[in-house]
Chains A and B, each alone.
Chain A
Amino acid sequence: MYKGGKIIASLILFVAFLSIPFFYNMGKVNAGPENLQASISQLDGQQCVESADYMRSNHMQLLNKWRQSDVRDGKTVYVNSQGKSFDISLQSCLECHATQATKNTVGVNNPALKTSDQFCVSCHNYASVKPTCWSCHAGPEGAPK
């Protein structure tokens, strides 16, 4: 190969450069969403609007349907598969899924973009999902400002 040594050396350098982030972060794996239970204010025998399993895989679809139903169809009550009724509102979620300690603190907003110990964020940060709910709705921290 013409100038083979140089080419191969540059290739090795190139690959090494590309893989820097992998080596740099090796062993520093981002902590997964642990201890989720701690950020739920639990009541006795309380279940989420649907089973935890269902919510884990379908909460986004459910929230979309809630939005459709409440905003566009004017149906503001959700009757779950066990016949229990819930008011369609993000506040219904936050009744349980909020850490009481950080409620109503002054000066925080947009927890979706902020590191915090709140329920939604702990998973969403890990999965790098950034929904924009709290740029309009009042988040777990209560009214912004």
Chain B
Amino acid sequence: MSINRRQFLRRAGMVTALGLGGSFVITGFRGKKVEAASEYETSKQGLKAKHWTMVVDMSKFKTEEDFKRVTESCVSIHNIPDFGNPKDEVKWIWKDDYEHTFSGGENEYLTEEFKKLPFTIMCNHCEHPPCVKACPTGATFKREDGIVAMDFHRCIGCRFCMGACPFGARSFNYRDPRPFIKKIDPDFPTRTPGVVEKCVFCVERLADGLMPACVEASNGGLIFGDLDDPNSEVRKIISTKYTIRRKVELGTQPSVYYLIGGGEHV
């Protein structure tokens, strides 16, 4: 039994019509509404900026207590686990020495005392973030306001970003972090094993109209504001005082500035 071309085309047409019609009947029957007439808005009390920037006033970080207070404020609200060993350490904001912080030797003639100081370190929220370029899933992305944020949902744990970040600002959860969190804050998600995390400049607090937790805890040691606003405190400091940034030679344009010889600013 063979069919000719005309019969074949006719039958093919009938089957196609049946298929299209059938799927239409089924979707019509289910009555699925996909869109509701709704909108998404930014919160009214939220703080807004074009380029969020942090200034670390070195003169305000003197004692061990100053560093601890700042780090603790972050740990408690972001559910940062303490695995108890440096290999698995999860760091959002921490302390390190001059050698590790400013390796590259751009500022040769800083005073010797300065080179002995410990520094508060966090994600630099670069203008040209290499971690964002490395991320294959878009889990790390740069927001309109300059913050390099994380979408933990999308992180697949490839750790390319950790290799790409020249500042070591990213940490990986090798184990389930939940049992290692001192007290879980229900307002912020914990992470799962296989997810990278880092400082996000407290985007969740900015949306509620609050300054980042470390800034609040620092007693003026950390100054946070909009670098694009000529009247902001950070802009005034950066344009009139001597500040340095980490590894500028790499061209990532960090948004965290270290103020040298502060104390009497603004």
| CB of A92 closer than 8 Å to a CB of B | no
Q: Write the chain B residue with the least CB distance to A139.
A: B186
Question: Do A76 and B189 have beta carbons less than 8 Å apart?
Answer: no
User: How far apart sit A136 and B33, CA to CA, in the bound complex (Å)?
Assistant: 30
Q: How near does chain B come to A4, taking the closest CB pair, in angstroms?
A: 33
Q: Quick one: which of B38, B178, B189 contacts A81, CB cutoff 8 A?
A: B38
Q: Quick one: which of B41, B144, B189 contacts A137, CB cutoff 8 A?
A: B189
Q: Write the chain A residue with the least CB distance to B182.
A: A145
| CB of B145 closer than 8 Å to a CB of A | yes
| CB of A96 closer than 8 Å to a CB of B | no
Question: Do A58 and B186 have beta carbons less than 8 Å apart?
Answer: no
Count CB-based A-B contacts (< 8 Å).
Answer: 84
Known: A71-B153, A74-B143, A75-B41. A143 touches B185 (CB 8 A): yes
Chain A residues near B145: list those with CB within 8 A. Answer: 74
**Interface mask (A130-145 → B, CB under 8 Å = 1, otherwise 0):** 0010011110001111
Question: Do B152 and A79 have beta carbons less than 8 Å apart?
Answer: no
Question: Do B184 and A72 have beta carbons less than 8 Å apart?
Answer: no
Tell me the dominant secondary structure on chain B's binding face. Answer: loop
Question: Do A109 and B178 have beta carbons less than 8 Å apart?
Answer: yes
Taking beta carbons and an 8 Å cutoff, which residues of B are in contact with A? 30, 32-34, 36-44, 46, 141, 143-145, 149, 151-153, 178-179, 181, 183-187, 189-192, 203, 207
| CB of A61 closer than 8 Å to a CB of B | yes
Q: Quick one: which of B40, B178, B185, B192 contacts A79, CB cutoff 8 A?
A: B40
| CB of A42 closer than 8 Å to a CB of B | no
A interface, how many residues as a size bin?
20 to 34
| CB of A128 closer than 8 Å to a CB of B | no
User: How far apart sit A117 and B144, CA to CA, in the bound complex (Å)?
Assistant: 42
Scan residues 29-55 of chain A and give those whose CB is less than 8 A from a CB of chain B. 50, 54
User: How far apart sit A106 and B192, CA to CA, in the bound complex (Å)?
Assistant: 20
Taking beta carbons and an 8 Å cutoff, which residues of A are in contact with B? 50, 54, 57-58, 61-62, 65, 67, 69, 71-81, 85, 87-88, 91, 109, 132, 135-138, 142-145
Question: Do B41 and A144 have beta carbons less than 8 Å apart?
Answer: no
Question: Do B191 and A136 have beta carbons less than 8 Å apart?
Answer: yes
Q: How near does chain A come to B142, taking the closest CB pair, in angstroms?
A: 11
Q: How near does chain A come to B202, taking the closest CB pair, in angstroms?
A: 13
Question: Do A72 and B185 have beta carbons less than 8 Å apart?
Answer: no
Question: Do B178 and A145 have beta carbons less than 8 Å apart?
Answer: yes
Chain B residues near A81: list those with CB within 8 A. Answer: 36-38
Question: Do B181 and A145 have beta carbons less than 8 Å apart?
Answer: yes
Known: A85-B41, A143-B185, A144-B184. A76 touches B34 (CB 8 A): no
Q: How near does chain A come to B47, taking the closest CB pair, in angstroms?
A: 11
Question: Do B38 and A79 have beta carbons less than 8 Å apart?
Answer: yes
Q: Quick one: which of A50, A69, A137 contacts B36, CB cutoff 8 A?
A: A50
Q: Quick one: which of B40, B179, B187 contacts A69, CB cutoff 8 A?
A: B40
Q: How near does chain B come to A69, taking the closest CB pair, in angstroms?
A: 4
Instruction: Sort A-B residue pairs by CB-CB distance and give the 5 closest, nearest first.
Output: A138-B186, A136-B189, A75-B40, A143-B186, A81-B37
